[in-house]
Amino acid sequence: MIPSLPPLPLDPPFHSDFVPTQRLTLECLEKILTSVPKGFLQPREIDLLVFVLQMQQQALAFEDSKRGTFSDIYFPDYEIPVIEHVPWVQAPICISKSIEDTVCQMLLEQKAAGKYEYSMASYRSRIFAVAKAKGGIHLVANVQELNRVTSVTHR
């Protein structure tokens, strides 16, 4: 059973008294606070927001290496029902030499963060890189083949 959270304080500490931690640094807090539109929150609401962020800072991740995974207690492993099919191995999509090192580094970081793992499975789907509008690269997993074989009753 998920424990209930304590009630929020009616008179939270002032956000000016914020004490940074290794997980919730002053820089990270400023990044969050500057994303709140001016005038959207009253000063005491900002104090409450900072209080909640401090109390729940383990839920925050500003980089992949800080991300966790959901507990098996609440989110057990599951199997995706599929229709009868032949396993596939798709040839990789070529990545431009100009971004190859960046993509390799991204994959290594995501593997270290637990998002990817080495596999000898009978299946291999493609990934590809696309340029972000504001610069940088985004990796996309192409799961069209998986979508074709997942059970229609579970879509």
What pLDDT was estimated at residue 152? 60
47: its two tokens: 């104090």
- Is 48:7 a contact under the CB 8 Å cutoff? no
Dihedral (CA of 38, 42, 48, 52) sign: negative
Return the half-sphere exposure (C-beta side, CA atoms, 13 A cut-off) of residue 32: 19
The structural domains of the chain, with segments of one domain joined by +, span 15-62, 97-154
What pLDDT was estimated at residue 154? 47
Return the half-sphere exposure (C-beta side, CA atoms, 13 A cut-off) of residue 59: 5
Share of the chain above pLDDT 70, in %: 96
What pLDDT was estimated at residue 36? 96
Query: How confident is the model over 67-90, as pLDDT tens digits?
Result: 777 778 888 887 888 888 888 888
Query: How confident is the model over 104-113, as pLDDT tens digits?
Result: 999 998 888 7
